Chain A
Amino acid sequence: MDAEITLRVDGQRRTLSVDTRTTLLDALRERLGVISPKKGCDHGQCGACTVLLDGRRVTSCLTLAVAQDGAEVTTAEGLSEGDRPHPVQQAFLEHDGFQCGYCTPGQVCSAVGMLDEVKAGWPSHVTENLEEEPDLDDEEIRERMSGNLCRCGAYTNIVSAIREAAE
C-alpha cells in the first residue's frame, strides 16, 4: 500500500510516495538519496542509522516513514553549515573519532542529540543523584552513547571528541 508523505530533510521539503513498509532509514537512503545514515543491523541494535527526528535522536531503522509524515529529519549531512562542520563533527575530526567511518554519521547525530538531552537536565543510568543536573564525565558519555556501536573500536577517541564538543 502506498502513501504520500512529506518530510523536511536537512532543511529541504521533500514529498514522496512510499510503500507503508518502508522504514524512515530506507526512505532516506533508497528513495531520497540521503545516504549519511547507515544501515548496520536494521534492528535497533547498533545506532548506525541514528538521525535527529524533530530534534531527538532516534534509530531510523525501527520507525516507519509513513508514521513520520510531516516530521523534521536532520542527518549528519545536514548538521554542517555549508563547508563549516558542526562543532561535534569538528571534534570527531580533531580527535580521530573514527577509523572506517561507517558508524560515524550515527555517532555524530547521537552525540548532538545526547548533548541536548544533557542540556535539558536529563539523567542517565549512571547519574548518581537523579534530582541534580548531570555532570558529563567520561562514564556519563559512555553510558549515554552505548546505543552506538563501533566495529573499529574507536571508542576512546569518540569519548574524547564528545568531551571536547561538550565544553
Chain B
Amino acid sequence: MKPFDYERADDTDGAIATVSDDPTATYLGGGTNLVDHMKLGVAEPGKLVDITKLPYDFVETLPDGRVSVGATVRNSELAASHVIRQSYPVLAQALLAGASGQLRNLATTGGNLVQRTRCAYFQDPSTPCNKREPGSGCSALEGWNRHHAILGASEHCVATHPSDMAVALAALDATVVVRGSNGQRRIPVTELHRLPGDEPERDTVLEHGELITSVELPAPSVSARSTYRKVRERASYAFALVSVAAVMEVDEGTVRDARIALGGVAHKPWRAEAAERELRGTPATEENFRRAAEAELEQAESLRDNAFKIPMTRNTLCAVLRELTREDRA
C-alpha cells in the first residue's frame, strides 16, 4: 500500500475543500471497499478524509412525509430503523441481503452507493481493465464473465454494479443530495450511476470532491407493496447474480403503478422502464408479467458465461410480481 495522509473531518465545507483541492485525496466512509482496494493496489489515494464523524448519522422524517437518510448511517442501522422497516421494506430487505453483519456495521449509505464493481479483473492490477486503467482493454469481454452485464454494456466494459441497496433506492425513486465546492445539487439516484460507454473509469456523475450528504426517499404510499429478491450462488454472504426490487400498486386486480429496478445485470441499478410501461393499467396476470419481463429483456445481450442471467432475470421478475400482487397479502 502506498503511504497516505489521514484526516478526520469535523466540518463539511473543510472536508470538501480539502478533497476538491487535492486530486489524490478521497473520502473515507466505513472503508470496507476503499481499504480493500488500497490493499489490492486498485486505489492509491494520497490523502483520506474520514467523513464518519460529520453530522450525517440520521434517519429523519421530513414535514412533508419524505424520509432523509444521512450519508454516514451504517447499513445495519438503516436496515433496523423502524421507519424503513415499516414504510420502505424493499430497502430494509435489500440492505439485509448485502454483505455480512460485521460489514453492514461498518458500511455507510454514501460508501455503499459509490462502491465499485466486483469484476475480478478490475480487482487484479496485473490484468488489463479499462475501468482501472483507461485504454488497457477489457479482460472480461472475452474472459471469465459469468457475473457480468446483460444490459447497457459497451465494448469497453461489461461490469455490473454490486450494490443491493442502490437497486432498492432506484425502485423507490430516491434522490441523492450532493455537496461540492460550488454548492449543493440533487441527483435522482437513477442518474447517479452511469453506463460504461467509452468512459468506464467513471462509475458515477459525481465530480471529484463532491460529497454525498444524504439520500431522500419520497413519502411512502400507503397502498404500495414492495419487496427485494436476490438470487445468488449461495444462500447468504454473496453478491447478486440477479436481483429485483419492485414497488407495486394494484387496485382490484389492475396494476396502477409499477416501479422496478434490476441488480446484477448492468453497470448501474437498472430501472426496468419497458416492463413498467407494459404493466401499468393492465390486469395483474401471469401472462402480462411474462410479457413485461420479455419486453425489458428484448435489449439483453449475453456474453460467453452469463446467458443464464436472461431467463433468471425473467423468472425472478415474474416471481416478484406474483408475490406483490397476490390478493391474500395484507
Asked if A125 and B236 sit within 8 Å, CB to CB, the answer is: yes
**Interface, chain B (partner A; CB < 8 A):** 1, 3-6, 8, 28, 30-32, 35-36, 38-39, 48, 50, 52, 76, 79-80, 85-86, 89, 92-93, 96-97, 99-103, 105-106, 235-237
User: Which among A81-89, A91-99, A115-123 touches the partner chain?
Assistant: A115-123
Asked if A63 and B35 sit within 8 Å, CB to CB, the answer is: yes
| A1 and B3 contact, Cβ closer than 8 Å, known pairs A67-B31, A121-B80, A131-B85 | yes
Q: How far is the CB of B34 from chain A (nearest CB, A)?
A: 9
Q: A57 near B: Cβ within 8 Å? A: yes
**Interface, chain A (partner B; CB < 8 A):** 1, 3, 19-21, 23, 42-44, 47, 50, 53, 56-59, 62-64, 66-67, 69, 110, 113-114, 117, 120-125, 127, 130-131, 142-148
Asked if A110 and B80 sit within 8 Å, CB to CB, the answer is: no
Which residues of chain B have C-beta atoms less than 8 A from A147's C-beta?
Answer: 99-103, 237
Asked if B31 and A20 sit within 8 Å, CB to CB, the answer is: no
Asked if B103 and A123 sit within 8 Å, CB to CB, the answer is: no
Which residues of chain B have C-beta atoms less than 8 A from A125's C-beta?
Answer: 93, 96-97, 236
Which residues of chain A have C-beta atoms less than 8 A from B6's C-beta?
Answer: 1, 3, 20, 64, 66-67
Asked if B102 and A63 sit within 8 Å, CB to CB, the answer is: no
Which residues of chain B have C-beta atoms less than 8 A from A143's C-beta?
Answer: 235-236
- Selected from A43, A64, A131, A146, the residue in CB contact (under 8 A) with B86 is A131
Complex Cα–Cα for A60 and B52 (A): 16
Residue among A1, A56, A125, A131 facing the most chain B CB atoms (10 A cut-off):
A125
Which residues of chain B have C-beta atoms less than 8 A from A145's C-beta?
Answer: 101
Asked if A23 and B106 sit within 8 Å, CB to CB, the answer is: no
| A130 and B85 contact, Cβ closer than 8 Å, known pairs A20-B6, A62-B31, A123-B92 | yes
Q: How far is the CB of A109 from chain B (nearest CB, A)?
A: 9
Complex Cα–Cα for A131 and B79 (A): 11
Complex Cα–Cα for A114 and B76 (A): 11
Which residues of chain B have C-beta atoms less than 8 A from A19's C-beta?
Answer: 3
Which residues of chain A have C-beta atoms less than 8 A from B52's C-beta?
Answer: 67
- Selected from B8, B32, B96, the residue in CB contact (under 8 A) with A124 is B96
Asked if A123 and B80 sit within 8 Å, CB to CB, the answer is: yes
Asked if A62 and B32 sit within 8 Å, CB to CB, the answer is: yes
Which residues of chain B have C-beta atoms less than 8 A from A23's C-beta?
Answer: 35
Q: How far is the CB of B235 from chain A (nearest CB, A)?
A: 8
Name A2's closest neighbour in chain B (CB-CB). B3
Residue among B52, B86, B89, B96 facing the most chain A CB atoms (10 A cut-off):
B96
- Selected from A21, A42, A62, the residue in CB contact (under 8 A) with B103 is A62
Q: How far is the CB of B315 from chain A (nearest CB, A)?
A: 20
Complex Cα–Cα for A44 and B107 (A): 12
Asked if B4 and A1 sit within 8 Å, CB to CB, the answer is: yes
Which residues of chain A have C-beta atoms less than 8 A from B96's C-beta?
Answer: 123-125, 127
Closest 5 A-B residue pairs measured CB to CB?
Answer: A147-B100, A146-B236, A146-B237, A122-B80, A130-B85
Q: How far is the CB of A91 from chain B (nearest CB, A)?
A: 19
Which residues of chain B have C-beta atoms less than 8 A from A123's C-beta?
Answer: 79-80, 85, 92, 96
Asked if A67 and B28 sit within 8 Å, CB to CB, the answer is: yes
Q: How far is the CB of B32 from chain A (nearest CB, A)?
A: 5
Q: How far is the CB of A26 from chain B (nearest CB, A)?
A: 11
Q: How far is the CB of B52 from chain A (nearest CB, A)?
A: 7
Which residues of chain B have C-beta atoms less than 8 A from A113's C-beta?
Answer: 101-102, 105
Which residues of chain A have C-beta atoms less than 8 A from B30's C-beta?
Answer: 62-63
**17 A–B contacts from the bound complex (CB under 8 Å):** A1-B5, A20-B5, A44-B36, A59-B106, A62-B35, A63-B106, A113-B101, A121-B80, A123-B80, A124-B96, A125-B93, A130-B86, A130-B89, A131-B85, A145-B101, A146-B237, A147-B237
Complex Cα–Cα for A59 and B30 (A): 11
Asked if A130 and B92 sit within 8 Å, CB to CB, the answer is: yes
| A59 and B237 contact, Cβ closer than 8 Å, known pairs A121-B80, A122-B79, A124-B96 | no
Complex Cα–Cα for A50 and B101 (A): 10
Q: How far is the CB of B323 from chain A (nearest CB, A)?
A: 13
Which residues of chain B have C-beta atoms less than 8 A from A21's C-beta?
Answer: 1, 3-4, 38
Q: How far is the CB of A30 from chain B (nearest CB, A)?
A: 15
Q: How far is the CB of A6 from chain B (nearest CB, A)?
A: 13
Name B85's closest neighbour in chain A (CB-CB). A130
Q: How far is the CB of A21 from chain B (nearest CB, A)?
A: 5
Asked if A58 and B102 sit within 8 Å, CB to CB, the answer is: yes
| A144 and B3 contact, Cβ closer than 8 Å, known pairs A62-B106, A63-B30 | no
Residue among B76, B100, B101, B106 facing the most chain A CB atoms (10 A cut-off):
B101
Complex Cα–Cα for A56 and B100 (A): 13
Asked if B3 and A20 sit within 8 Å, CB to CB, the answer is: yes
